[in-house]
Amino acid sequence: MPSLIVAMLCNTIMNAFRGMSSGVEPVSDTRDSNQGRFVSAQAVAERAGVSRSAVSRAFTPGASIAPATLAQVREAAAALGYQVNDLARGLLANRSRLVGLVTSDADAPFQAQLVAAMSHALIERSNVPVIISIGSTADDVANASRQLLRYRAEATVFLSASPPVSLVELTRRNGQPLIVVNRAETGLDSVHCDDRDGAQQAFEALRLAGGSRFAVVTRANPCLSLAAREHAFAEFATASGFETKIVRASRADYDGGKEAARQLLACGPFPDAVFCVNDLMAFGTLDHIRGAGLYVPNDVSVVGFDDVPMAAWSSYGLTTLRQDPQRIARDVISILDRRLAEPDSPPISVYFPVELVIRETIKARR
């Protein structure tokens, strides 16, 4: 089962349903420190000397209410510390301001940056981000999305992993937009970095640095985005008359980079130009080849992909392709706004550029 991030939502939602079933509109959301309960709208009404419905109108944009009554309600609410329960209002409207962020590797540096950027953008949009960390199976993905449907999430954004076809159809029937990031599923709204252009920039940088023995460090059974980087790099090398050695590790992380470097060291002359499909693999590759007595960049130049914060550390100084998490977040929000405004429009795909960041792991251009 996915780990439900905002576990306290359960109690809040149950309280909201109790309010609806009792015929009272549930809009209170502030805890009364004396009684250990949220301050209720009824308490505000009693303090202000107005009806319960007057309190509801006072906090409903555009509702009709006399200015004097509005002032009484606002003064009483401020004195009690009352806040509107937007979750309960969303339930009454059969929707919420929740937006799910689904990821299978939330602790990876780039994913952590992306989650932070998306969370900030959603909060600015007045949404409540719900982060769900899942396993790698289709059941994990499906369970996460069904949880978000049950909570009437406004949308689900897949930062990693892919929704199964059956789930896509289920969310469509329920009117919940799905947006994928750096995935290639057809028929879904999506945001992609330009993997092909990034691979070309990496190849050209390594070639101009004097590279002639090229290698790509990647993962066995890579996701579509990593595969696109690998294939594009090899294609550009072939077009320029060079062969490319593809080395596959079991994982696309630091240990996978070390594993790939061991393979390279064990099979003949070490390449003088290595492209790693992400920064974590590049870090592992760098540490292993340095430990084996090779010098970077004199013996070998290395380029990564993502530009996570560690890439700029003096111990790495990694030349890499930068994906901008803030740009991705803005594009996701733009797609969400368009999808909600035009639910029946064709799938929306946005591609954003990557930028080559030159640091110490590549020879000065000749």
Share of the chain above pLDDT 90, in %: 51
Alpha-carbon span 183 to 12, nearest angstrom: 34
pLDDT of residue 305: 98
> Is the pLDDT confidence value at 73 over 60?
yes
Is residue 304 very low, low, confident or very high in pLDDT (cuts 50, 70, 90)?
A: very high
Share of the chain above pLDDT 70, in %: 80
pLDDT of residue 11: 43
pLDDT averaged over the chain? 84
> Is the pLDDT confidence value at 167 over 90?
no
Least confident of 157-161, 178-182, 268-272, 348-352: 157-161
Token pair belonging to 119: 């969370």
Is residue 156 very low, low, confident or very high in pLDDT (cuts 50, 70, 90)?
A: confident
The three state secondary structure string of 291-320 is: HCCCCCCCCCEEEEEECCHHHHCCCCCCEE
pLDDT of residue 310: 97
Average pLDDT of 47-58?
Answer: 87
Average pLDDT of 169-189?
Answer: 80
Place of tokens 């007595």: 293
Alpha-carbon span 323 to 105, nearest angstrom: 17
pLDDT in tens, 77-129: 888 888 766 556 555 555 568 898 888 777 889 999 999 999 999 999 989 89
Least confident of 7-16, 55-64, 72-81, 272-281: 7-16
pLDDT in tens, 346-361: 999 999 999 999 999 9
Is residue 25 very low, low, confident or very high in pLDDT (cuts 50, 70, 90)?
A: very low
Average pLDDT of 322-346?
Answer: 95
| CB 242 within 8 Å of CB 186 | no
> Is the pLDDT confidence value at 45 over 50?
yes
Least confident of 117-126, 131-140, 335-344: 131-140
pLDDT of residue 85: 63
Average pLDDT of 286-296?
Answer: 96
Alpha-carbon span 240 to 237, nearest angstrom: 5
pLDDT of residue 136: 61
Sequence-ordered list of residues with C-beta below 8 angstroms from that of 13, at least 6 positions apart, any chain? 87, 91, 151
pLDDT of residue 28: 44
Q: Does 261 or 43 have the greater pLDDT score?
A: 261
Average pLDDT of 321-325?
Answer: 97
> Is the pLDDT confidence value at 324 over 90?
yes
Choose from 55-64, 170-179, 248-257 the range with maximum mean pLDDT: 248-257
